[in-house]
Structure 1
Amino acid sequence: MVSLAVLLWLRPPWRAIAVWSTGLVAILVWWNMLQPSSDREWQPDVVKLASFDFDGGYLRVHNLRNFDYRTETDFTPRYEDRTFDLSKLRGLDIFMSYWGSPAIAHTIMSWDFEDSLPLAISIETRKSKGQEYSAVKGFFKQYELIYVAADERDVIRLRTNYRGEQVYLYRLKVTPEQARALLMDYVATMNALVKTPRFYNALVNNCTTSIHGHVKNAIADAPPVDWRLLANGYGDEMLYENGNIDTRLPFDDLRRRSHINARAKILDQDPGFSQGIREGLPNPRHVSRQPIGQ
Structure 2
Amino acid sequence: MIMALLTGLLGLGIALATLWGALALGHRLPLPRPWRWGGVGLWLAAGSGWLWLAWQGARLGPLAAMAVQMAALLTWWRRLTPSKDLAWAEDVAHLATGEVEGERLTLHRVRHFDWQTPTEARGGWERRTYDLRRLQSVDLFVSSWGRPGIAHVLVSFGFSGEGPGEEAFVAFSVEVRRERHERFSEIGGFFKQYELAIIAADERDAVRLRSNVRGERVTLYHVTLAPEARRDLLLALVAAANDLERQPRFYHTITANCTTLMFAMMRQIIEGLPLDHRLLLSGLLPGYIHEHGGLVDGYRLCELRRLGDITERARQAHDAPDFSKRIRRGVPGWCD
**TM-score between both structures, scaled by the size of structure 2:** 0.81
Query: Which range moves more in the overlay, 197-206 or 244-253?
Result: 244-253
Q: Partners in 2 of 1:169 and 1:143 — Cα distance? A: 28
1:246 match: 296
Query: Which range moves more in the overlay, 10-19 or 137-146?
Result: 10-19
- Asked whether 1:52 is paired with 2:98, we answer yes
Deviation, structure 1 residue 4: 7.0
Tell me the amino acid that sits aligned with residue 256 of structure 1: R
Deviation, structure 1 residue 91: 2.3
**Larger C-alpha radius of gyration, 1 or 2?**
2
1:225 match: 275
Query: Which range moves more in the overlay, 109-118 or 205-214?
Result: 109-118
Q: 1:5 to 1:241 in 2, by over 3 A?
A: farther
Please say if residues 98 and 106 of structure 1, whose CA atoms lie closer than 8 Å, have aligned partners that are also in contact.
yes
Equivalent position to 1:101, from 147, 156, 171: 147
Q: Partners in 1 of 2:302 and 2:137 — Cα distance? A: 24
Deviation, structure 1 residue 271: 1.6
Q: Partners in 2 of 1:14 and 1:109 — Cα distance? A: 53
Q: Partners in 2 of 1:87 and 1:247 — Cα distance? A: 25
Please say if residues 90 and 175 of structure 1, whose CA atoms lie closer than 8 Å, have aligned partners that are also in contact.
no
Please say if residues 43 and 128 of structure 1, whose CA atoms lie closer than 8 Å, have aligned partners that are also in contact.
yes
Deviation, structure 1 residue 30: 1.5
Q: 1:222 to 1:120 in 2, by over 3 A?
A: farther
For CA contacts below 8 A with separation 6 or more, give which structure has more relative contact order: 1
Query: Which range moves more in the overlay, 95-104 or 11-20?
Result: 11-20
Q: Partners in 2 of 1:196 and 1:250 — Cα distance? A: 41
Deviation, structure 1 residue 101: 0.9
- Give the percent of matched residue pairs that are identical in Structure 1 and Structure 2: 38
1:43 match: 89
- Asked whether 1:269 is paired with 2:326, we answer no
Q: 1:75 to 1:6 in 2, by over 3 A?
A: same
Q: Partners in 2 of 1:90 and 1:47 — Cα distance? A: 30
Q: Partners in 2 of 1:176 and 1:4 — Cα distance? A: 59
Cα RMSD for the two superposed structures: 1.7
Give unmatched runs, 5+ long, in structure 1. 287-294
Deviation, structure 1 residue 223: 2.7
Tell me the amino acid that sits aligned with residue 216 of structure 1: R
Please say if residues 7 and 13 of structure 1, whose CA atoms lie closer than 8 Å, have aligned partners that are also in contact.
no
2:286 match: 236
Tell me the amino acid that sits aligned with residue 278 of structure 1: R
Query: Which range moves more in the overlay, 62-71 or 242-251?
Result: 242-251
Q: Partners in 2 of 1:220 and 1:231 — Cα distance? A: 21
Deviations 1:144-170 (A, max 9, x none): 000010000001110000000000000
Tell me the amino acid that sits aligned with residue 192 of structure 2: K
1:283 match: 333
Give unmatched runs, 5+ long, in structure 2. 1-14, 19-46, 162-166
Q: Partners in 2 of 1:92 and 1:154 — Cα distance? A: 17
Tell me the amino acid that sits aligned with residue 9 of structure 1: L
Deviations 1:180-230 (A, max 9, x none): 11111111111111121111111111010110011112x133531111111
Q: Indicate the SS of the match to 2:108.
A: strand
Q: Partners in 2 of 1:204 and 1:123 — Cα distance? A: 12
Q: 1:230 to 1:96 in 2, by over 3 A?
A: same
Please say if residues 45 and 77 of structure 1, whose CA atoms lie closer than 8 Å, have aligned partners that are also in contact.
no
- Asked whether 1:135 is paired with 2:179, we answer no
Q: Partners in 1 of 2:267 and 2:52 — Cα distance? A: 44
Query: Which range moves more in the overlay, 187-196 or 154-163?
Result: 187-196
Q: Partners in 2 of 1:94 and 1:250 — Cα distance? A: 17
Tell me the amino acid that sits aligned with residue 127 of structure 1: R
Equivalent position to 1:206, from 246, 251, 257: 257
Tell me the amino acid that sits aligned with residue 176 of structure 1: P
2:156 match: 110
Q: Partners in 1 of 2:172 and 2:49 — Cα distance? A: 46
Deviation, structure 1 residue 87: 0.8
Deviations 1:16-39 (A, max 9, x none): 122111111111112112110011
2:236 match: 185
2:78 match: 32
Q: Partners in 1 of 2:176 and 2:118 — Cα distance? A: 17
Aligned length: 284
Deviation, structure 1 residue 100: 2.1
Tell me the amino acid that sits aligned with residue 252 of structure 2: N
Deviation, structure 1 residue 14: 2.3
Please say if residues 7 and 17 of structure 1, whose CA atoms lie closer than 8 Å, have aligned partners that are also in contact.
no
